[in-house]
Structure 1
């Protein structure tokens, strides 16, 4: 069961997934009390501010889904901070990435390993089993499987064909107190997703962070890809983590595919899509935005749902904020042509 109110949750020891509004990029903080795991971290201040302001002192795992800039840009800085305690760093190797950002990240992670401050784990794949679990949090790696992990990323000239970075994205399902809560799909493409489906993996989760920020899967029909993803995940909340000034996501055909599969799901973009609102910013109330967690677009009036908090409720259900009603009210009152709205649906 998932509801869209967060007021009834216990606050003594928060058990939650925070999908941070970082602009164009991805970041999720999985938290049980003072212990946390970070999944992806782009450049910018929102994540560091979030950790400091909410007393997330112990980072059990820093997980990077794949080596693209908008997923790893802030990781080296975090690893280089002597005041940050990170038990384990996870990132699959990439012989075809030679950006300064990636090479600096590998160096910082290696230094932490040499100093025995952080264990460097280069095997973020289905073989991790229970290695990522902590306290009441369970994190399953659904992709890459051992076939992909055994080969890694490849160039076009490879005997087996190209395996691009997005296809190697680590797809994670986070459960809170035993209940599936959030599917973090990173930038998985259509062929990578089909590999998961062929293995018969259970993908269902009430909250889906949609792949590739709602952009093109670049391999087939984007509407069909979105439809199939949502048919297998069956989300009640579909999140697009995007920056207002980077591309024009989510693509209309992606939104159409989401609505084909889950017509009354709550669709929430972290920032305002230019498809929905052409003007520079909105001047309406931002009362629906999280009071505890920062949103990168808030100061300039560019956050839509902003940072989204998903929690384990008192009755074994999954609850989230901002509520569908509050977010919907903001959208209706402030956006020129909102594309996300559909008929409301009881969340249960």
Structure 2
């Protein structure tokens, strides 16, 4: 079984990757959905947990995951965040200490120096950002090119490669400064799937320019917005519009149904959803729900995987942004 799973966790991000050499998790927000998925997959051991950045919608569930006695976590990789001061961060630190005493390796560096040195089986993990010189500066300091380092500048950008094929770019909440720095350093961000940062919301820089630059550089066949219906009103129409202009042939899929696309929920349970944990199922909030990719699928045919989702959007959603 070789699968990449982008979870419907509501407002947050969480990705599971299962390969012959083990399983890994990228980010873990609060809620039961991630644990339900790991149970369904019969995962009893995680080779890696990667943390993009310490916002609650990315680390809120790590405490329960690390304290869970039924799952062995071998390694956790996370960058230190000296500017972070939140309950979720404190709880994570306590859980990390407990996990360390039980044998989990806690690594407080996740930068480009580790790129291609991490992975499970035939999966290769590339760390495209942040660069070590910027981590040495930290939030509030200057990038070497003069811009101020924000918390999102430090968000880890992960690229998943399987058998030499670039499968997915998972950029956390990367901002425009981080993207510019990566591209100037010659980073190859191309991938079949882009899990869009900020849940489809605005970043602080020129948003349309950021969306265009990111989408064109990745050149994805699939763009996933991990978002929660009714929260922060995501994805923003300007973001979706810019994605469509930059990648007109890409299939856009939101984990939950945006209020902007349909004020009313579709009647009945949509038949296109996979039999896999999705937070939005209980309230019939799903649009695409949890996204599951078989890594052995020909990435050139990836859009065919979502044909049932395309049919659902065309027939049952009143004003879908992805078709505007």
Q: Place the TM-score, normalised by the shorter chain, in its bin.
A: over 0.9
Once residues 100 and 318 of structure 1 are traced to their aligned partners in structure 2, the CA distance between those partners, rounded to angstroms, is 44
Once residues 55 and 232 of structure 2 are traced to their aligned partners in structure 1, the CA distance between those partners, rounded to angstroms, is 16
The residue that corresponds to 2:317 in the other structure is 335
Once residues 117 and 228 of structure 1 are traced to their aligned partners in structure 2, the CA distance between those partners, rounded to angstroms, is 42
**TM alignment of 1:1-348, pairs within 5 A:** 14-33=1-20, 35-113=22-100, 115-154=101-140, 162-220=148-206, 222-279=207-264, 281-291=265-275, 293-313=276-296, 317=299, 323-341=305-323
The residue that corresponds to 1:5 in the other structure is none
8 Å contact 1:72–1:102 — kept in the other structure? yes
Which secondary structure state, in structure 2, belongs to the residue aligned with residue 298 of structure 1? helix
Greater fraction of residues in helix: 2
Q: Flag structure 1 segments of 5+ consecutive residues without an equivalent.
A: 1-13, 343-348
Once residues 322 and 23 of structure 1 are traced to their aligned partners in structure 2, the CA distance between those partners, rounded to angstroms, is 25
8 Å contact 1:215–1:254 — kept in the other structure? yes
8 Å contact 1:309–1:321 — kept in the other structure? no
Calculate the TM-score normalised by the size of structure 1.
0.88
8 Å contact 1:17–1:29 — kept in the other structure? yes
8 Å contact 2:130–2:156 — kept in the other structure? yes
8 Å contact 1:61–1:88 — kept in the other structure? yes
CA-based RMSD of the aligned residues comes to: 1.9
Once residues 321 and 308 of structure 1 are traced to their aligned partners in structure 2, the CA distance between those partners, rounded to angstroms, is 12
Once residues 306 and 95 of structure 2 are traced to their aligned partners in structure 1, the CA distance between those partners, rounded to angstroms, is 41
Q: CA deviation at 1:282?
A: 1.9
Once residues 129 and 207 of structure 1 are traced to their aligned partners in structure 2, the CA distance between those partners, rounded to angstroms, is 19
State the number of aligned residues.
Answer: 321
Once residues 20 and 174 of structure 1 are traced to their aligned partners in structure 2, the CA distance between those partners, rounded to angstroms, is 16
Q: CA deviation at 1:152?
A: 2.1
Deviations 1:225-259 (A, max 9, x none): 11111110000000000011211111111111111
Q: CA deviation at 1:320?
A: 5.2
Once residues 281 and 303 of structure 2 are traced to their aligned partners in structure 1, the CA distance between those partners, rounded to angstroms, is 16
Once residues 247 and 76 of structure 2 are traced to their aligned partners in structure 1, the CA distance between those partners, rounded to angstroms, is 35
Once residues 90 and 55 of structure 1 are traced to their aligned partners in structure 2, the CA distance between those partners, rounded to angstroms, is 23
In structure 2, relative to structure 1, the CA distance for the partners of 1:249 and 1:231 (3 Å cut) is: same
Once residues 322 and 47 of structure 1 are traced to their aligned partners in structure 2, the CA distance between those partners, rounded to angstroms, is 26
8 Å contact 1:205–1:234 — kept in the other structure? yes
Deviations 1:4-45 (A, max 9, x none): xxxxxxxxxx11110000000000001114721000010011
8 Å contact 1:67–1:165 — kept in the other structure? no
Q: Flag structure 2 segments of 5+ consecutive residues without an equivalent.
A: none
